[in-house]
Amino acid sequence: MRALLEQRDEDVINLASFLKGSARGAAYNLLLIDEGLDGSEASQEHLLDALAAGRYRNSSLVWRHVLVALYAIEQGFVRAEQRVGIVCQDRQGLAVQELRMRSSRGVLGPERRDTAKLLECDWGYEVLLRAARTAATGSEGLSSRTAHRAIARSVGRVALELKCEPEILRMQNGDWVVIDLSSYNIANSVADLQSDLDIDDCDLVLVETLTSSPRALPCKRTFLDFPEVDDSPLLAVTGKPARWFVVKLPIRW
């Protein structure tokens, strides 16, 4: 799947087939695209070709930051003329963008004037995955003797701060071994955020993530349960208190 999305395999028919499981029965089909190389014109054309090949109904591409804003609007979370900072966690780090909420004929929508600011840092999914894989393989690193650990289900789960139980793995020689990463804290393996997010003038900030625990992000509480986040490490970056919220998009896998 990753080879198809990254165009290392350019077969749009295969990509269209992969997407069918998530799009079955949908009246509208949206594909999220990120800033940078993952959202380049070539990538967009590749995805649009796949959507056309699969004959998906009412299909289109949408910037991840814009979808976060639309979701916040749907939840009644933002108002007209507010300046909303949106921080999206992606595979390389954080992508930061400021959107203005505009109202026209009673319809509220986000205004996107500039591209997002890309910050390569340890909060990227790829860095978290490497840290989790290192924890699984131990000091020996990746080798033929530790390959079964590197591809364990536990690696992906701890990278996203999902609940992780001891896992039984089968080795190449047929023996069985137990891997236990339940006590591993991924946040201890990444460096603190150093870059300026440049969103201190926003009325509120939305942080979008696929992680299940705020410990894997520079935010402390969840979007719905504890909306006011006043002890986030990111507040030290902005230099002034702000309203921080963690957004969990209802994405179908």
Residues 169-215: tens digit of each pLDDT: 988 888 898 999 999 888 777 777 666 777 778 888 888 888 764 44
Average of per-residue pLDDT across 131-152: 89
Please indicate, yes or no, if residue 42 is contained in any of the structural domains: yes
The answer to which of 77-81, 155-159, 221-225, 240-244 has the lowest mean pLDDT is 221-225
Q: Are 146 and 138 in contact (CB under 8 A)?
A: yes
140 and 115 assigned to the same domain: no
pLDDT at position 4, please? 63
CA distance 167 to 28: 38
Question: What is the overall mean pLDDT for the chain?
Answer: 78
Please indicate, yes or no, if residue 198 is contained in any of the structural domains: yes
Q: Are 120 and 107 in contact (CB under 8 A)?
A: no
Range(s) of the domain holding residue 197: 77-123+191-247
163 and 151 assigned to the same domain: yes
Average of per-residue pLDDT across 126-153: 89
83 and 172 assigned to the same domain: no
Please indicate, yes or no, if residue 114 is contained in any of the structural domains: yes
104 and 139 assigned to the same domain: no
Average of per-residue pLDDT across 10-35: 82
| pLDDT over 90 at 102, yes or no | yes
Please count the structural domains in the chain: 3
Average of per-residue pLDDT across 151-163: 89
228 confidence band (pLDDT: 50, 70, 90): very low
Please indicate, yes or no, if residue 66 is contained in any of the structural domains: no
Token reading at 213: 């625990």
To the nearest whole percent, how much of the chain has pLDDT over 70?
77
Average of per-residue pLDDT across 36-60: 84
pLDDT at position 1, please? 61
Helices and strands, counts by H and E, the chain: 8, 10
Q: Which of 17, 69, 7, 9 is nearest to 43 (CA)?
A: 7
Phi and psi (nearest 5°) for 90?
-125, -170
| pLDDT over 50 at 224, yes or no | no
